[in-house]
Amino acid sequence: MRWKGLILAAVLFSSLVALWIACSQDNPAVPVDQPVRVEGDNGADRFDWAIGPIEGITTVWHAAPSTITVPVGTTLRFKAQGALSSTIRWGTALEVSRGDLGSIAECHIASPGQYEVSVSVRETRSRQDRIREYADGDDRAPTFRRTCIVNAIDVAFDRVKVVELEPHVKPFGLGASSSNWETSKTLREGNSISQFRHIGPNHYLTAVNRPVALGATLSDPRFSTIIETRISGERPILGAETILISESGQHTVSVGPPSSARSFVIDTYKVSITSHQIGRDAISDDVPVTFVAKTDPPGHEQDITWISSTKFGIAEPVVGHGPTFTVEFHSTVGLDDPVTPSTWLGVRADNAVLVQDQFIFGEVDTCTAISCPPAMQYCEFEVVWINDHADCAAEGLVLHSVACVGPCPFDVAPGDCPETRWFMYKGCLWRGARNSADCQPPCANRFVLK
């Protein structure tokens, strides 16, 4: 009985060693006993011009690239959109099936070299149908032509392989010295600015919509155009260098031929800004504004990265982290044209964006001269827009001017008689100008909102 126990212990030990070796790889290969389903020809229906699964290399139909590189011995399948009545002619490939949604052709690559797979599709409808469709009476049948350049290399199929993956993100690189153009571009462009954390072996955490570079090293870089990336819950993509996941949850990313693919896992969360709602909560200048965000699933609030931006003026600070972000916006109203003031400001929290984008419409109601004591700086202030703020005095839609206040809350050099400036103060939009010994006091105007 003792020897049976020793055998059992040896078997258990060897199994543990094998498991440890498998788990210690940087990017473990997907086990061969986890088959990946290969898509049938019905998958081509979603494309006008497509390339089919390549045996042992890819698993679904993809939009056909302009150029690909394959090993000699590969059989390629292409699909071109076209009705049964259309005239479809293939070059280098042989049609193998025809249906309501197009033609499928095959091309076997038997020797090294460069091949052009082409197809032309000419619709053949009645002349009356064509005349009705084309207002100019052009009865020429529509024709389109598609091509794919195939480079064939005489190497073994196992050279189409991913050796290593190093997923990473590009830092967004913003800080206190960043310009309004830089911050607004990052805020507007739609991609998340979240951190990309390594939380375990081949396991990462980030927010949705964060571009992640795969960092794939191939055994032969010439095959990059036929490397397929498969993300759980999403359609595989071909030749990708960067991926972007739009749903929260856990996602397995597998890259390369199914039998030798490298993989990693990304956990994603979604951020929403809960403290403010556009149209309900106005954001004013020169007062601290605290924004609050939450994550789904919860628990990742400390990982949130914030940025602030404004088209005119400044926002301080530019970058923050955590569940809250307190910002002060200054001088955020400017003129896009000589008459109409506007304001554009906002924040981004990882994938979530909150933007206040407004044009201020109104007209000058009255104009009367004002004089001030010589010892005072002359400033003309008038409230021209209100954010339902208690400190703003309003009488119906006519908001009152304030004059003879000094010093001005904006910087004007002595001797200047500047054009009217716009700025936000205590929840209101103000217009102001400064007088000096070299210029006459301007009119004190009232502004009527429309």
Structural domain spans, the chain: 43-154, 162-270, 272-359, 362-449
Q: Do domains 43-154 and 162-270 have the same CATH topology?
A: yes
Distance of CA 47 to the CA centre of its chain: 23
Asked whether residue 301 carries a pLDDT value surpassing 60, the answer given is yes
Asked whether residue 144 carries a pLDDT value surpassing 50, the answer given is yes
Q: Name which of 17-31, 154-168, 202-216, 348-362 the model is least confident about.
A: 17-31
- Domain 162-270: assigned CATH number: 2.60.40
More confident residue, 372 or 306: 306
Q: What is the pLDDT, as a whole number, of residue 285? A: 84
Q: What is the pLDDT, as a whole number, of residue 296? A: 97
Cα separation, 405 vs 383, in Å, equals 14
- For the stretch 90-106, pLDDT in tens is 999 999 999 887 999 99
DSSP code, position 29 = B
Residue 123 pLDDT class (50, 70, 90 cuts): confident
Class of domain 272-359: mainly beta
Q: Name which of 3-17, 276-290, 333-347, 376-390 the model is least confident about.
A: 376-390
- For the stretch 307-339, pLDDT in tens is 999 998 899 999 999 999 999 998 887 766 655
Q: What is the pLDDT, as a whole number, of residue 343? A: 83
Q: Name which of 29-33, 48-52, 250-254, 297-301 the model is least confident about.
A: 29-33
Q: What is the pLDDT, as a whole number, of residue 420? A: 45
Query: What is the mean pLDDT of the segment spanning 438-446?
Result: 35
Cα separation, 323 vs 306, in Å, equals 9
CATH architecture of the domain formed by 43-154: Sandwich (2.60)
Cis ω for the linkage preceding 317 (within 30 of 0): yes
Query: What is the mean pLDDT of the segment spanning 79-95?
Result: 93
The percentage of residues in the chain with a pLDDT greater than 90, rounded to a whole number, is 54
Q: What is the pLDDT, as a whole number, of residue 191? A: 92
Structure tokens at 281: 């909560």
Cis ω for the linkage preceding 407 (within 30 of 0): yes
More confident residue, 50 or 377: 50
Residue 436 pLDDT class (50, 70, 90 cuts): very low
Asked whether residue 404 carries a pLDDT value surpassing 50, the answer given is no
Asked whether residue 56 carries a pLDDT value surpassing 80, the answer given is yes
Query: What is the mean pLDDT of the segment spanning 232-257?
Result: 96
Average pLDDT, the chain: 77
CA distances from 347 to 105, 279, 363 (A): 51, 15, 31
Asked whether residue 362 carries a pLDDT value surpassing 70, the answer given is no
Cα separation, 240 vs 227, in Å, equals 8
Q: What angle do CA 304, 309, 313 make, to 5 degrees?
A: 150
Residue 190 pLDDT class (50, 70, 90 cuts): confident
Q: Is the pTM value of this prediction over 0.85?
A: no
CB 36 within 8 Å of CB 230: yes
φ, ψ of residue 42 to 5 degrees: the values are -65, -20
CB 112 within 8 Å of CB 154: yes
Q: What is the pairing mode between strands 421-425 and 428-435?
A: antiparallel
Q: Which residue in 216, 291, 198 sits closest to 257, CA to CA?
A: 216
Residue found under tokens 């984008």: 357
Q: What is the pLDDT, as a whole number, of residue 177? A: 86
